[in-house]
Chain A
């Protein structure tokens, strides 16, 4: 069965520091992978996606993610965090049978001055 694990429930980083959010997935073939961001009281906004090709994908707001097949991971990174990046981040695997998408439980990011 498909599943997505985000091991970190909550992360706190200082503004200007680098960030890495972890995501591991379980899927029998090469999945379609996504990262979404959710600000308080808002819907989910697509940050980036991976379908095939270059395993390092660039997204909006300066985020990038790297697909590592050997580790079944799709970690999200940002070299320098801004206070406005404080939000909830969700990793998802999708486009599989029935066009269903599966989400991790999210990682809450706090940015301190």
Chain B
């Protein structure tokens, strides 16, 4: 399994509070991603990073920001959490093995916004 950890694994917070989720990789891969998973929607890309300090928006980026100050860490911040951001958040990395770009996932973080 790819070396990807997410913290925290579970979090309960209140509406209006900031929340930061951390993704850490030990694979030295260039690309890192944050997705959210909701019933009926599958996986939706929030933000991704293609290098240190290089990030871009995905399809559902409103209300989220990211930072990547080191290759191994990719942080997702909910600036002011809302109930609609209750979800399961997955971090992923992609790397090349024999010229084949493949994406690997972390274990997920379950976030409940009350």
Q: Which residues of A contact B (CB under 8 A)?
A: 32, 34, 36, 42-46, 49, 51, 90, 92, 94-95, 98-101, 103-106
Contact = CB atoms under 8 A, between A and B. Distances in A.
Interface stretch (B13-21, B36-44, B60-68, B74-82): B36-44
Interface of B (DSSP majority class): strand
A51 B100 contact: yes
25 contacts: A34-B102, A34-B103, A43-B105, A43-B106, A44-B105, A49-B100, A51-B99, A90-B43, A94-B102, A94-B103, A95-B100, A95-B101, A98-B50, A98-B56, A99-B48, A99-B50, A99-B94, A100-B58, A101-B45, A101-B92, A101-B94, A103-B43, A104-B42, A105-B41, A106-B42
Given A43-B90, A43-B106, A105-B41, A100 B101 contact: no
